[in-house]
Amino acid sequence: MTDGSRRGLVIVPAVLALATFLPRPGAAQVLPSEPISLVGGRLTIGGEASVSTSSSDDPGWFNYTDYAHNALRMVRLGITADVHLGSRVSVLGELRTENWDRLRPYALYLRVRPWTDHPFDVQVGRIPPSFGAFARRNYSGDDNPLIGYPLAYQYLTSLRSDAVPASADDLLRMRGRGWRPSFPIGSTAPSIGSPLVTAFQWDTGVQLHWGPDPIDVTGSVTTGTLSEPHVQDNNGGKQIAARVAWRPVVGLILGVSGAHGPYIATSITRNLPPEVPREDFSQQAFGFDAEYSRSYWLVRSEGIFSAWRLPAVRAPFLHNPVRAWSMSVEGRYKLGPGLFAAGRYDHLGFSDIQGSTATRPWDAPVTRIETGGGYYLLRNLIFKITYQHDWRDAGSVRELQAWSAQLQFWF
């Protein structure tokens, strides 16, 4: 048994013991339960704190994020602010820190509502996502029934925007090594790869939103891409993204999303050999999502398809875009007052490429099953415990089994 496993087997029961001493649903609320309003309602402040621990230190890096943190072993603190500058203008922001790392501006944008009697607004700055369902939800409190994240929004592939393979063989050598891939073109130092869509950073740009029921439309132009959002542009291009959601009946939401934007940094493209075709080295993505809630049930499903075009430098050439797709299905069922059970099935697959000796998926397909449940100690204080099983066909560690616990508070 590893040291990490021993620590986890001690910490998980400790968190369970702590939970038994906390208030139960219906007990007096001694912690803030609503955002705090100041300055006559012109300033609203909210916050979130969560502590997660796991029986495994995840030596296969299945749960590592693009900030190089283990999503199952994380202390996250966040504070949000909404400053009303008038009836039509607000400034919204959020600061976060993970594992006592430096504070990062997760969100900071200006929201303008040109007409007070129409559901239309413009947002400028570090804006909410315009693609997919998971990253658009706040995913604090009871909006995430589990502790882990869907693979498409968290799992690190071997692709990087600051380093690229020269051939198909270079990419195949990095299968299952998204936590530290390295390539011969661009930065040669090993570094973390990118997910299909990151849930841990917001992009910078302009967003338009029109939201009367039953149709909700969001579109944006940003400096980065779904895989790698940026504050400062690194390639002189812009991503266009949009999502349309439809609520045909009460409890049902159907959504479709699309995005296209240049992916590779200018520092790479300007140093490619002159014989390499200058193509649109971009990320393209399409997504669909569905949610249905009724009585004690909540069911969600989301699929994402993404493609990246890479330079064809030497044989065996990467002439065609490399593709990836994900599918997740999750559900939650209320068992009783304050108690629920939940589960999620997740798969991430990759297209085949032709190497010197074999044709294989360019990264290692991975599957994740996570089950568990939670209990509301207060209406904004929740304790969860889950079991997660991950497996793939490449990498130094090909399987993970982990019990995790989380205590989460928000207001």
* CATH of residue 159: 2.40.160.10
In a domain, 166, yes or no: yes
> 25 in a domain, yes or no?
no
pLDDT of 245 higher than 80: yes
Per residue in 63-90, pLDDT tens?
A: 999 888 999 999 999 999 999 999 899 9
Is 126 contained in some domain? yes
What does the pLDDT look like over 356-391, one tens digit per residue? 999 999 999 999 999 999 999 999 999 999 999 999
Q: What is the 3-state secondary structure (H, E, C) of 31-51?
A: CCCCCEEEHHHCEEEEEEEEE
Give domain status of residue 155, yes or no. yes
48 token code pair: 């979130």
How high does pLDDT run on average in the chain?
A: 91
Question: Does residue 136 form part of some domain?
Answer: yes
Statement: the pTM of the whole predicted model exceeds 0.85: yes
Could you list the residue range(s) of the whole structural domain that residue 361 is in? 111-397
With bands split at pLDDT 50, 70 and 90, how would you rate the model's confidence at 7? very low
Residue 154: its H or E element: helix 151-154
Count of domains observed in the chain: 1
Distance from C-alpha of 65 to C-alpha of 67, rounded to nearest angstrom: 5
pLDDT at residue 301 is higher than 50:
yes
pLDDT of residue 59: 95
Q: Is residue 304 part of a domain?
A: yes
- The answer to the question of residue 176 being in a domain is yes
12 pLDDT more than 50 = no
At 8, the pLDDT band (50, 70, 90 cuts) reads very low
Residue 47 in domain: no
Neighbours of 176 (CB within 10 A): 22
Give the C-alpha distances (Å, rounded to integers) separating 205 from 90, 122, 231, 332, 364: 16, 11, 9, 35, 33
Supply the pLDDT for residue 139: 53
